[in-house]
A = this chain, B = another copy of it.
C-alpha cells in the first residue's frame, strides 16, 4: 500500500506518493479510508455484487515511452480496467494503481504529471475514485503499472461471456480497427502524436471505455452475453463462443470500420477490424427479434452477425463476405509491440 516511507523519499518516490495522494483527494462516497493505511476501507455495496479486474500495463509490452505520451499511458492504464467493468455492465467504485518507475522517470516531474493527469482525467470522468495502490522503483528501465478496478452491479445481473445461445444476433458498439490503424501511424511517426488529447478521437491513444453502453445493456436486459474487444474481434469472439458453447457467423460487410481503418484500404481495413486489438468496444449477443436501439449510452450499435449451434467439424467462427463466400475465421488477435 502507499505508505509514507521516509527511506523512499531518498529515491524521489516520496514526491510520487504525495502527488498521487494529492490527486486522489479526500475519501468520499464508498471510500471510508483511502491512501495511507495498510488497506483501504470501502463500504460494502448493498444489494450488489462486487466486480473486480486487474490488468498489467508494462512498458515494452503494452506501451512504449518513445511512442506514447505520458498522458496516453496514464489514460490507457486505467481504460484497460474500466473496459473490463463495462463488459460486465458494472459501475466503477474505486481504482487501485500499482506503479513502479525507473529512477529516470521518478525524477521526471513532467512525465509523472502527465501520467497522473491522463489517469485522473479519465478516473474523474468515470467516477472511479483512486483509493490506493503501491509504488516501487522499477528493477529495470521499464515503467510497470498494474490497475485494479472495483465495481458493482445489482446482485446477479452482471453480464457474462457464457450466455450466448444459437439464434442470438451478434452486435458490437462503436467502430472497429481504429486502434490498430492509429497504432500503425504512431509507429511511423510518434512525434505527430505527442500533443494528442483525450478530447479528440484517438482510438489507440485515448480509448473510451463503454461504461454507459454496458450499463444500459445490463439495465435493459438486452444482452445474453458480453465482453470487451481488447485482443481483437476474432480472439474475443472466440472467447465468447468457447464460454457459451456455440459457434458464430460474422458478416464482413456489416463490420463498422473506423475511418482510420477505412483509410487503410479494403483488405487491411478488414484485417484491422477483425484482428486489431485494443478497440475496447463491447461485443455482445441478444435474442433474435429483440428491439435493439441504434445507440446505447451515446454510442452506435451495429448488428454484425449471428450465433449458431455447435456442429462437428464446423469452424468455431465463420466469416461471410459480401458475395456470400464463407471462410473459417481464426483467432488472430495479436500483441502490437512484439
Contacts and interface: CB of A to CB of B under 8 A. Distances in A.
Contacts of A59: 139
Interface string A15-57: 0000000000000000011001111111111111111111110
Contacts of A205: none
Interface in A286-338: 331-335
Interface stretch (A148-156, A171-179, A187-195, A261-269): A148-156
A249 interface: no
A107 interface: no
Interface stretch (A68-76, A116-124, A129-137, A196-204): A129-137
A1 interface: yes
A169 interface: no
Interface residues of A, number: 79
A213 interface: no
A35 to B, nearest CB: 11
A48 B32 CA distance: 12
B243 A36 contact: yes
A151 B38 CA distance: 12
A247 interface: no
Contacts of A155: 43-44
Contacts of A140: 60, 139-140, 142
Interface of A: 1, 3-7, 32-33, 36-56, 58-62, 83-85, 87-88, 90, 94, 96, 98, 100, 131-134, 136-140, 142, 144, 146, 148-152, 155, 158, 160-162, 227-228, 231, 235, 238-239, 242-243, 331-335
The 6 A-B pairs of least Cβ separation, nearest first, read: A60-B139, A39-B51, A38-B87, A146-B146, A140-B140, A38-B84
